[in-house]
Amino acid sequence: MPMVPATVTVSNPRRGKNLQIVGVLLILLGLTTCAIGMRSGSRGEPSDNFGHFLIGLLSFFAGATLWIIGRLIHWYHAE
């Protein structure tokens, strides 16, 4: 019986690191944008920055999702 070599898939560990870096940058961008959106307007009146707050919140959650995927991607490719 001929010997068949086992196939080994090697995952790229930098791929997960790159996703983590992009995720952290999006988290920081989201937190900064949320802070701008929550800031009050001049003279203490509430500002109309709900758009900034919403974009910051979406950036934060997108960054958190990418960071989690970057942390877990090596389990998926470890087969």
Which residue bears the tokens 């959650």? 61
**Which among 4, 18, 16 has a CA at the least distance from the CA of 78?**
16
What are the sequence ranges of the domains in the chain?
23-76
Tokens 């960071």, located at residue:
67
pTM: 0.68
**Per-residue pLDDT, 53:** 83
The confidence score (pLDDT) of residue 1 equals: 58
Q: Is residue 58 exposed (0-12), middle (13-18) or buried (19+ Cβ within 10 Å)?
A: middle
- pLDDT, tens digit only, all 79 positions of the chain: 566 665 555 556 677 888 899 999 999 999 998 888 777 566 656 566 778 888 899 999 999 999 999 988 877 655 5
| Residue 10, phi then psi, degrees to nearest 5 | -110, 120
How confident is the model at residue 15, as a pLDDT? 73
Compute φ and ψ for 18, nearest 5 degrees.
Answer: -65, -40
- Which pLDDT value is given to residue 76? 65
